[in-house]
Chain A
């Protein structure tokens, strides 16, 4: 069966520090991968998606970037975090008509 892993689960980072969140999928190949962000009191917003290695599409211009160095690995990064980057980050992948989500990373920028 397919599973999706995200880490870390929680993260507290100072303003201006770098960020790296990792997501990996098991049990499938060539998945479509997505990064969503859920800000406090708001819905989920699609940040990036990828259809293959090295292929990244950005939905919202921001302080973040994404990379896909391997087929089942999706990384969300920032060179310098802003306070507004705080939120709950979710990785997802799709199978047929469904999107499956990881457990999320709670990022607090202080």
Chain B
């Protein structure tokens, strides 16, 4: 069974500061890992994903994440926060290689609300 833990339900940073949102996962098979962003009353938008290959993945809006198998982590970072980054962020995992419906059978973390102060 898969699970995802996001450390910190709320993270607050100043504009221009480093953003670090933590995600740890457990999976019995090689995972696919995702970060999604959700703005109020909207759907989820994919920020980035790790499937195979390079463990440092870059996404939209200047975000990146590093897959660390030994630490079972997939933390999301951005060097300099912008006011427009304020949103809720979700880490998710799906089973690698199972194909078909498994890609959409995502297990999500509880979410982290990012607040950016001027």
A97 CB-CB contact with B under 8 Å: yes
A96 CB-CB contact with B under 8 Å: yes
User: How many residues does chain B have at the interface if contact means C-beta atoms less than 8 Å apart?
Assistant: 25
Looking at the assembled complex, report how far the CB atom of B59 sits from the nearest CB atom of chain A, in whole angstroms.
12
By secondary structure, the A interface counts as: strand
Pick the contact of A98: B4, B103, B105 (CB < 8 A).
B103
CB pair B106–A97 under 8 Å, yes or no, is: no
Cβ–Cβ < 8 Å partners of A88 in chain B: 41
Q: What's the Cα separation between A100 and B49 when bound, in Å?
A: 13
Cβ–Cβ < 8 Å partners of A93 in chain B: 104
CB pair A99–B90 under 8 Å, yes or no, is: no
Q: What's the Cα separation between A106 and B43 when bound, in Å?
A: 11
B27 CB-CB contact with A under 8 Å: no
CB pair B103–A43 under 8 Å, yes or no, is: no
Say yes or no: A32-B41 contact (C-beta < 8 A), given A42-B110, A43-B109, A43-B111: no
Q: Which of A43-69 contact B (CB under 8 A)?
A: 43-46, 49, 51, 57, 59
B118 CB-CB contact with A under 8 Å: no
Q: What's the Cα separation between A46 and B111 when bound, in Å?
A: 15
Say yes or no: A92-B104 contact (C-beta < 8 A), given A43-B109, A43-B110, A106-B41: yes
CB pair A34–B43 under 8 Å, yes or no, is: no
B67 CB-CB contact with A under 8 Å: no
Most B-side CB within 10 Å, residue of A33, A98, A100, A106: A98
| Contact count A vs B, C-beta below 8 Å | 68
Say yes or no: A99-B106 contact (C-beta < 8 A), given A43-B90, A43-B111, A51-B100: yes
Chain A residue nearest in CB terms to B41: A106
Q: List 25 A-B contacts (CB under 8 A).
A: A6-B43, A32-B103, A32-B104, A34-B104, A34-B105, A42-B111, A43-B90, A43-B110, A43-B111, A44-B90, A44-B106, A45-B108, A46-B106, A49-B101, A51-B100, A88-B41, A92-B104, A93-B104, A96-B103, A97-B51, A99-B103, A99-B106, A100-B46, A101-B36, A104-B43
Interface residue ranges, A against B (CB under 8 Å) = 6, 9, 32-34, 42-46, 49, 51, 57, 59, 88, 90, 92-94, 96-104, 106
